[in-house]
Structure 1
Amino acid sequence: MPRTSIATVCLSGTLSEKLDAAAAAGFDGVEIFEPDLIASAARPDELARTVAQRGLTIDLYQPFRDLDSVDPGRFARNLIRLERKFDLMDQLGCDLLLVCSSPSADAVTDDARLSDQLAAAAAIARRRGKRIAYEALAWGAHVSDYRHAARLVATVDDPALGNCLDSFHILSRGDDPSAIADLAPGSIFFLQLADAPMMSMDVLQWSRHHRCLPGQGNFDLGGFIRSVQAAGYDGPWSLEVFSDIFRHADPTRTARDAHRSLRYLSELGAGSPDTDSPDAGSVVSVRVAAGPVLAPKVAETLSHIGFDLQGVDSGTGLQLYRDAGLAVVVDPTAGTVWTAPGVDPDMPTIAQIGVRSDHPASWAQRAAAYDVPVAPVSAPGTDGNADEVVRLDVTDTLAIDLRAEASAADWQERFDLVPRRTVEPASLVTGVDHVGIGIGTADWEGAMLLLRSVFGMSVDDGLDLPDAVGTMRSQALTMPTSSGATVRIVASLVPNQLDTRGPLRRRGGLTHVAFECADIVETARACRARGLRALSIPDNYYDDLAARFDLSDTMIDGMRSLGILYDADADGGEFFHFFTPTIGEDLFFEVVCRRGGYRGYGEANSAVRVAAELHRRAVAEV
């Protein structure tokens, strides 16, 4: 892993707290963001000692803005300002200054004149024993492209002037980073890294409010970093992330995630993981934190879709429901170790996903490489041995277990109480298609990074899904497995006003498990026979299906009678699904059938489902 650094602007708190967090996370150095220094009570020489005492170095002082100017008097004053910053850097013990291209109205727009002004600044830096890293701001008035900046640096040809490459400024413009590999050896003085979600907005606002850590956004940072490595850069990999979320988050947690993100990026740059990728199979179990009030309703709904009670653990009260090789464990207790901290016992939610693995202990090793703690496990279905199950916390309320069991039948005997009447599994469903989870804003960035880094999940483009109760940001992540199945998670970003740090209250439900089946019509009929009353979908929906898709009247009428919804993609893939009513405010179940390689999740039907759920509640209240 390369030498690591982080800009103090990435972290919340006082400058001292930021340095503590960076050191605790394992960073080698920091960039000092000038506003942090200005607001600090510590003098520059005191700060230098503080940094050194924490085992850190100051790798960069930044930013120096608006160096060039068409006004000769203003440029002369800027050179005096530059001298004063070098004085300060003498006290800091730092030799590298970031100079940004100017976005101001009086920026120089003639390359020859701009080269002369950069040469004048470089001469001062060389005389003072300093260096300047010149960066092309994506919104620079004249210089906004890293290739343009590199040509200016090459023209000046002074050893005190080099390039600063910032992934956000390059990738947000859609520039091709491959030309970085052609930059002159030694001309890259510094590297700043940030990811970001793909957004259509003013690039300055995008930069100031929506950057994130590598592995949390949608940029191709793997390709970017490989181009940087091809250029021979061997300096620090430094994070510069402006984020509204990070400005309010715990700096220790942010710094830990930040250091983890650089390890993940190092893997992307290498083209393969630093550690062996553990094996994984399909999802074999789901645990629902149901609480004592609504646990019977969860059990009834599971029974409707083919899951029957197979056993109870006498020590904890956990209930095992099975259908074929799948297990759903329902926790009816309140305030026990089985209920995730902060979960309202009357608000059922998904608390755990179990994924089969032949070697769970290897996942513990991979987690350790990313400094992700493995949660202690002591529950039915395991004896706490890491060779049998490894639990990784994704958020405070959701964990993923890597389990050695092939199916629920392998550990059913550990549920020591059995019902008087044994019911054979109905075999209505064949597996878990995907799991939907709600994640609050405080957990979102960390969860995305953990799922992508430790689990190697890939992300689809995020979607904004409007419905009757607001707009929800949805992000799908997938992980192909050794069994040929795909583990799919659909995460929904819960706005601040809905984030209760426990189950995420939202009328119409948010968290769910989508079970797959072979024949959606036969399965829907069987579920009806078992007592399911699926959501009633309005006739207007089926009229619209007839207009949009080439479906027979017989097929549409059959779907209408069973509450089945439909979607198709441009490649001919099809998706059929139906829903149970929501239990409490949060939880529901879905049964789906994919055909023809369909890769989506029926997102177009999300608003219809929510509206149908709200209608059901309104009718029930009359």
Structure 2
Amino acid sequence: MRSSIATVCISGSLEEKLDAIAQAGFDGYELFENDLITSSMSPAAVAGRTRELGLTLELYQPFRDFEGVDAGTLARNLRRAERKFELMGELGARMMLVCSNVATAQFGDDARAVDQLGALADLAQRHGISLAYEALAWGRFVSTYEHAWRIVEQVGHDSLGICLDSFHILSRGSSLDTIDNIPGEKIFFCQLADAPAMSLDVLSWSRHYRLFPGEGVWDLGAFVATAVDAGYTGPLSLEVFNDVFRQSDPFTTARDARRSLVAVEDAASERVSASRPAVSLSTLPPVSETAGFSFVELAPGDLAATRRFLAGLGLQRVGDHRRKNSELWSAGDANIVLNRDRDDAEPTIAAIGVEVFNVDEASRRAVALGSRVLPRDRQQGERVLHAVNTPDGIELYFSPSETAGSWVDEFGGRADTESRADTESLADTESLADTEGGADTESLAAADAGTGLGGGGEAGAAGIRSIDHIGLLQPWQRADEASLFYRSVLGLAVSDSVDVSSQSGLVRSRSLASADRGVRIALNIAPAADERQQQYLNHIAFATDDLAALADRLAAHADVLAIPRNYYDDLDARTDLGAERIAGLAARNILFDDDEHGRFLHLYVRPIGDVLIEIVQRVDRYDGYGAANSPVRLAALRVSPR
């Protein structure tokens, strides 16, 4: 199907919008009237530029407040319409969006609306124009698509059809069943917008909070499939009013929009009946099943300090890459790569690796969704790892999930003298990474007794086991794009957004996870004015089977973030953990959360650079991230400089 986007979706001048739309790969666009009125381009120049860019002008919009009026107002409205039809001739536009009357309608009887829209259709036909009638969700008398269709059906004019807009339909909770009864040739246009779940008047919801498909909560794949099964063959067009998008770079927004449309077509293609073979929907390579995080790559900043930091956490130096300027640190299945070619002033997350069952398939899907495979220096005998760019600037690697011939084997080089000197000071202390019987059974038992929550207690359980999740700080204007990217490329399920209170404002957080929970990513949006402050950080959460015991062993090697005593007083008041258990948590600066499925223990190590380390223990089937404790963590970071 042809792809289209309304110019109102993106920022910039009309010239910039058209360039961005073309560059993103759209076939056509809807011209929002205000974009033309405020442009220095003449209608003829717009038509010429449209042809130069290989675009089509699919729809001119909106024509407002027409039907349900008295005779005098109708005459003025028809004059206004004729001027617009003449303008559309200059633009090369052949369809106009007519919205149900919101402001000037005086009469709600359908007979009057039928007569007046019929007169408008007669006039449009003389100019070679088609009219797509749309029920606005807040229309004075016509506010549902079912009602709009009854009127269009009664008019019975070749030049008048209906526009199906997902926002106006789904925001009212309308059923899609009536669409099946609309002849496909009378569905003139289809507009798509997603939205977050909100308790808000529908007009404000529409004007400020629409999202591209896949960034909100609606099943737009089902919506598109229903329209196609009804016989719709026109363009799928995005009409999204969003304050953030209209302040962001137009080229970035247009790319995000195109990705969303490809993804929703793919979702719809699985549901369209086989009786519609003439309709061609975009399809994607299947999601390659994930098998957890393979590594996190850090730009090390001060290399010696970062090495000591990792050793203090209990990771061990595996070695240098055979020929690249990088080194691998590991504990259990958790791998941290230090890229020594990065010259960042402070440590930062440069890339994340995800294990997939088919690297090529995962890469093809990412490319089809608008990503670019990044060049990578690889020689014969080295494992195939493909990397793509992400909206937040961190590279995403796809690595093969099989263990035979793993990429880890490439790190067989000898550790250099400087590194050995950096970690020598730890040789006198107990190795935190020694998980093969290195943990003292007595100390583990004592730690578990101290909290009564450890769930471990076996020798070797006190080490880092794997990477539990990654937390990524998002610029306020890119968060929805990042959510769509990780959701569509990796096939992750998205949770509802959570607002976290901090001393500088609200932090909005949204988590994504694979079906088996091997890959978990938390996207965090800090208050715009404070997004560079130190309490808002990317973070790596390591998993352990006995956090209490690990906390005891960390005490000598790592700077655990101090949690205020007030937190534990409150914990005592709102839980039945008991004084002894809470004292055990407080002594180790461990935070606690629970839900109906299980319990969650976690602590934080004071950050290095812009990387915060969290260590977590999930007990039973707890599936969250301890969001209730986030305000405490943010406050502690604010008063505890790195």
TM-score range, shorter chain: 0.7 to 0.9
Distance 1:398 1:101 in 2: 45
Moved more, 345-354 or 162-171: 345-354
Question: How much does 1:171 deviate?
Answer: 2.2
Amino acid in the other structure paired with 1:308: Q
Distance 2:393 2:154 in 1: 56
Superposed CA deviations along residues 362-393 of structure 1, whole A, max 9, x for unmatched, are 22222222231011224xxx649996101112
Aligned residue in 2 for 1:326: 334
Amino acid in the other structure paired with 2:180: A
Aligned pair 1:531/2:527, yes or no?
A: no
Aligned residue in 1 for 2:190: 191
Aligned pair 1:542/2:568, yes or no?
A: yes
Distance 1:608 1:496, change over 3 A: closer
Question: How much does 1:409 deviate?
Answer: 4.3
Distance 1:115 1:362 in 2: 53
Aligned residues: 592
Superposed CA deviations along residues 248-280 of structure 1, whole A, max 9, x for unmatched, are 333333222222221101111123863132232
Amino acid in the other structure paired with 1:75: L
Aligned residue in 2 for 1:437: 472
Q: Is the 8 A contact 1:325 1:408 kept in 2?
A: no
Superposed CA deviations along residues 572-611 of structure 1, whole A, max 9, x for unmatched, are 3221111111334x32111111233222110000011122
Amino acid in the other structure paired with 1:82: A
Q: Is the 8 A contact 1:508 1:582 kept in 2?
A: no
SS of equivalent to 1:580: strand
SS of equivalent to 1:302: helix
Counterpart among 482, 504, 509 of residue 474 in structure 1:
509
Aligned residue in 1 for 2:276: none
Q: Is the 8 A contact 2:185 2:232 kept in 1?
A: yes
Q: Is the 8 A contact 1:22 1:252 kept in 2?
A: yes
Distance 1:511 1:247 in 2: 27
Aligned pair 1:580/2:630, yes or no?
A: no
Distance 2:186 2:3 in 1: 19
Amino acid in the other structure paired with 1:593: Q
Counterpart among 513, 518, 522 of residue 540 in structure 2:
513
Superposed CA deviations along residues 422-471 of structure 1, whole A, max 9, x for unmatched, are 97943412211110011113432332222122222221111111112321
Aligned residue in 2 for 1:449: 484
5+ unaligned residues in a row in structure 1: which ranges?
Answer: 340-344, 500-504
Distance 1:616 1:118 in 2: 67
Question: How much does 1:563 deviate?
Answer: 1.4
Distance 1:598 1:105, change over 3 A: farther
Amino acid in the other structure paired with 1:490: A
Aligned residue in 1 for 2:582: 556
Distance 1:587 1:83 in 2: 61
Distance 1:260 1:65 in 2: 31
1:77-476 equivalences in 2 (<5 Å)? 77-104=76-103, 106-271=105-270, 274-292=284-302, 295-312=303-320, 318-331=326-339, 336=341, 338=342, 345-378=344-377, 383=379, 388-395=384-391, 397-404=393-400, 406=403, 409-414=408-413, 417=416, 420=420, 425-427=433-435, 428-476=463-511
Superposed CA deviations along residues 152-181 of structure 1, whole A, max 9, x for unmatched, are 222222222211111122223333334323
Q: Is the 8 A contact 2:390 2:396 kept in 1?
A: yes
Identity of aligned residues (%): 41
Superposed CA deviations along residues 350-372 of structure 1, whole A, max 9, x for unmatched, are 22111123432322222222231
TM-score, length of structure 1 as denominator length = 0.88
Q: Is the 8 A contact 2:213 2:260 kept in 1?
A: yes
Aligned residue in 1 for 2:438: none
Distance 1:415 1:458 in 2: 41
Superposed CA deviations along residues 222-267 of structure 1, whole A, max 9, x for unmatched, are 2222222222211100111223333233333322222222110111
Aligned residue in 2 for 1:502: none
Distance 1:5 1:370 in 2: 16
5+ unaligned residues in a row in structure 2: which ranges?
Answer: 272-282, 436-462
Aligned pair 1:611/2:635, yes or no?
A: yes
Distance 1:443 1:385 in 2: 38
Amino acid in the other structure paired with 2:247: H
Question: How much does 1:3 deviate?
Answer: 1.1
Superposed CA deviations along residues 64-94 of structure 1, whole A, max 9, x for unmatched, are 0111243321122001111221122222232
Moved more, 407-416 or 121-130: 407-416
Superposed CA deviations along residues 185-242 of structure 1, whole A, max 9, x for unmatched, are 3221101112223333333233222222222223221222222222221110011122
Question: How much does 1:415 deviate?
Answer: 6.4
Distance 2:92 2:571 in 1: 68
Superposed CA deviations along residues 553-587 of structure 1, whole A, max 9, x for unmatched, are 33222212211111112x33221111111334x32
Distance 2:74 2:349 in 1: 61
- CA RMSD, aligned part only? 2.7
Distance 1:46 1:239 in 2: 24
